[in-house]
Amino acid sequence: MRNIIVENLNGLPVFEHRVEIVERKGKGHPDSICDSIMERISVALSEEYRQKFGKVLHHNIDKGLLVAGQVERKFGGGYVKKPMKLYIGDRATFEAEGIKIPVEEIAIQAAKGWIKDNLRFVDSENDLRYFSELSPSSEELSGIFLRSGALLRANDTSAAVGYAPLTKTELIVLRTEKYLNSSDFKERFPETGEDVKVMGYRVGKELNLTVAMPLISKFINSEDDYFAKKDEIIEDIGNFLSDFDAMEKIDVELNTLDVRGKGLGGTYLSVLGTSAEDADSGEVGRGNRINGVISLNRPMGTEAAAGKNPVSHVGKIYNFLTHKIADEIYTNVTGIKEVYVWLCSQIGSPIDEPKVASVQVVLKKGVSLESVSDGIKEVTDRELSRIGEFCEELIEGKYPVC
- Each residue's pLDDT tens digit, 152-177: 888 889 999 999 999 999 999 999 99
Q: Which amino acid is at 101?
A: I
151 pLDDT above the threshold of 90: no
Q: What is the pTM of this model?
A: 0.95
How far apart (Å, rounded) are the C-alpha atoms in residues 390 and 384? 9
Cα 294 to Cα 53: distance, rounded to the nearest angstrom: 38
The answer to whether 29 and 61 have CB atoms below 8 angstroms apart is no
Q: Are 308 and 316 contacting, i.e. CB atoms less than 8 angstroms apart?
A: yes
Side chain identity, residue 379: V
> Which residue, among 119, 232, 236, 241, has the nearest Cα to 173 in the 3D structure?
241
Residue 212 pLDDT = 98
- What pLDDT score does 146 carry? 67
The span from the CA of 156 to the CA of 140, in Å, is 12
Residues 221-254 have pLDDT tens digits of 999 999 999 999 999 999 999 999 999 999 999 9
pLDDT for residue 299 is more than 80 = yes
The answer to whether residue 140 scores a pLDDT higher than 70 is no
Integer Rg of the chain from CA = 23
Identity at 393, one-letter amino acid code: E
- Mean pLDDT across 114-131: 98
Classify residue 268 as left (phi > 0), alpha (psi -120 to 50) or beta: beta
pLDDT band at 209 (very low <50, low <70, confident <90, very high): very high
Q: For 173, what's the count of Cα atoms within 13 Å in the CB-facing half-sphere? A: 30
> Integer distance in angstroms from the first to the last C-alpha of the chain?
33
Three-class secondary structure of residue 269 per DSSP: strand
Task: Determine phi and psi for 307, rounding to 5 degrees.
Answer: 85, -15
C-beta separation of 159 from 301 below 8 A = yes
Identify the architecture of domain 14-24+169-283 in CATH: 2-Layer Sandwich (3.30)
What is the spatial distance between Cα 272 and Cα 122, in angstroms, rounded to a whole number?
5
Beta-carbon neighbour count of residue 274 at 10 Å? Answer: 32
Amino acid making up residue 87: Y
Q: Which sign does the torsion angle of CA 48, 54, 56, 57 carry?
A: negative
Coil, helix or strand at residue 136: strand
Between CA 43 and CA 78 the distance in angstroms is 35
Q: What is the average per-residue pLDDT within 328-351?
A: 96
- The Cα 97–Cα 235 span in angstroms is 61
Average pLDDT over residues 73-91: 97
Q: In the prediction, which pLDDT does 198 show? A: 98
Sheet holding 4-8, edge to edge: 4-8, 356-363, 336-344, 159-164
Work out whether strand 84-92 and strand 77-82 pair parallel, antiparallel, or are unpaired.
Answer: unpaired
Q: What's the confidence (pLDDT) of residue 138?
A: 76
> How many Cβ atoms are within 10 Å of 231's Cβ, its own excluded?
11
Rounded CA-CA distance 67/276 in Å is: 7
User: Confidence class of residue 145 from pLDDT cuts 50, 70 and 90?
Assistant: confident
Stretch 190-208: mean pLDDT: 98
CA–CA dist 278, 80 (Å, integer): 9
Q: What is the mean pLDDT of residues 178-195?
A: 98
What does the alpha-carbon distance between residue 296 and residue 89 come to, in Å, rounded to a whole number? Answer: 29
Residue 55 has pLDDT above 70, yes or no: yes
The percentage of the chain sitting over the pLDDT mark of 90, rounded to a whole number, equals 93
pLDDT of 149 reads: 61
Pairing verdict, β 84-92 and 135-136: parallel
56 pLDDT higher than 90: yes
pLDDT of residue 152: 82
